[in-house]
Chain A
């Protein structure tokens, strides 16, 4: 990040490669897979425009995903306004071309049903790719507590997603 702030374009490319897939996955749970790449693109723009606000030594992944989350929330908040202006239904989770739209929707619904603390852990660990220790830093809990939340979420998800798995097979 320091090299990137010093104007090293190659350093930004590394950051882009490191986070782009994780950002799309993470955002797909908030805005849908079809919108996620666009919101990830906006997130990268915001990272660039606010790179001077990143404080050296802080958790980079946490900073990046906080920007992504806020960008997604802004997008969701502005959706009704866009609908009003354009008359076009802006979806929350329109399918990406080569993915099973029903499965994606049911996965999102299953995650939405989790309690907030467990949902946060699942989104950050599975979709943002943060380690349990990094998640612990973001949510302000101990690593052990995060593991317990993850374990409980896994159990609930297994039950809820059984139907999705059956549908897929």
Chain B
């Protein structure tokens, strides 16, 4: 290796080169018109949200949480549900609550929103793993797509998802991928948790298809759709 290490006292910016490169002279500034334009755009898009009170900011998310809780009452837990059902459902519920929290904080603290959303997705993945483990224990293997459960979870998730989407859209937040995942996760994880506990099926294919694969695919597709939809308008207002 022919690399020769420099002496530690080598200046990072020797003065002679500074002058020779013309870096000691002032550079022309950027037209401040762009600064004003972007500041106006920020105020037009996100200003109204910043002026709202906390209650005004988060009421749609709180309402989504209430709807999520009501789903557990409407789709009452099946008496046949065992520990694994409760564990899977509990993790899915936790994922839903974390996604709701992510959606609530994201407009004011986007990075924190992203982190909380990531925890939510991890919890959702955990719920799917537990549901998978539950499926693996099942002895009934007659084919059942579990369409009823999948459709119920998706339909029941529409209201909380819509409320969270409304909250995010009116905040004007430039949506990141994890925020979009949180919007969808808040709805589908909450509804999925109640449906799983309500159904407590003992059929392998039903659990794999209706409880896991179909809702997960729909969730992924919806997250992409939400991300694209809310980031469609990128021109300055």
A residues touching B (Cβ–Cβ < 8 Å)? 2, 4-9, 12-13, 16, 20-21, 23-25, 28, 33, 36-38, 40-41, 44-45, 48-53, 56-57, 96, 99-100, 103-104, 107, 125-127, 131-132, 144-145, 147-148, 150-151, 154, 157-158, 161, 164-165, 168
A-B contact pairs, 11 of them (CB 8 A): A4-B42, A21-B29, A37-B28, A40-B30, A48-B236, A52-B176, A126-B17, A145-B3, A147-B5, A147-B10, A154-B17
B4 A148 Cβ-Cβ under 8 A: yes
**Most central of A7, A107, A131 by chain B CB within 10 Å:** A7
Q: How far is the CB of B30 from chain A (nearest CB, A)?
A: 5
**Most central of A9, A99, A107 by chain B CB within 10 Å:** A9
B33: chain A residues at CB < 8 Å are 41
A56 with B17, Cβ < 8 A, contacts A7-B172, A9-B39 known = no
CA distance A100 to B21 in the complex (A): 12
A25 B27 Cβ-Cβ under 8 A: yes
Identify the closest chain A residue to B19 (Cβ).
A165
Q: Which of B109-117, B126-134, B197-205 is near enough to bind chain A? A: B109-117
CA distance A132 to B10 in the complex (A): 13
Q: Nearest 3 pairs between A and B by C-beta?
A: A7-B46, A56-B111, A52-B174
CA distance A16 to B108 in the complex (A): 21
Q: How far is the CB of A108 from chain B (nearest CB, A)?
A: 10
A151 B10 Cβ-Cβ under 8 A: yes
Chain B, interface size category, equals 35 or more
A157 with B20, Cβ < 8 A, contacts A45-B38, A56-B114, A99-B25 known = yes
Q: Is B47 an interface residue (CB 8 A)?
A: yes
B110: chain A residues at CB < 8 Å are 2, 5-6, 56
B42: chain A residues at CB < 8 Å are 4, 7-9, 12
CA distance A132 to B11 in the complex (A): 12
B23 A25 Cβ-Cβ under 8 A: yes
Partner of B16, one of A36, A50, A158: A158
Dominant secondary structure at the B interface: loop
Q: Is B206 an interface residue (CB 8 A)?
A: no
A6 with B173, Cβ < 8 A, contacts A126-B13, A144-B5, A148-B3 known = yes
A48: chain B residues at CB < 8 Å are 38, 41, 236
A44 with B12, Cβ < 8 A, contacts A9-B43, A24-B28, A148-B6 known = no
A147 with B20, Cβ < 8 A, contacts A6-B108, A21-B29, A96-B28 known = no
CA distance A131 to B13 in the complex (A): 10
CA distance A99 to B23 in the complex (A): 11
Q: Which of B29-55 contact A (CB under 8 A)?
A: 29-31, 33-35, 38-39, 41-43, 45-47, 49-50
A21 with B43, Cβ < 8 A, contacts A6-B109, A56-B114, A107-B22 known = no
B39: chain A residues at CB < 8 Å are 9, 12-13
Identify the closest chain A residue to B32 (Cβ).
A16
CA distance A45 to B41 in the complex (A): 11
Instruction: Please give 10 more A-B residue pairs, beta carbons under 8 A apart, in addition to A12-B35, A148-B6.
Output: A5-B111, A7-B49, A7-B50, A36-B27, A37-B28, A49-B235, A56-B114, A151-B6, A158-B16, A161-B17
B108: chain A residues at CB < 8 Å are 6
A24 with B27, Cβ < 8 A, contacts A6-B110, A7-B47, A7-B49 known = yes
A4: chain B residues at CB < 8 Å are 42
A157 B17 Cβ-Cβ under 8 A: yes
Q: How far is the CB of A86 from chain B (nearest CB, A)?
A: 21
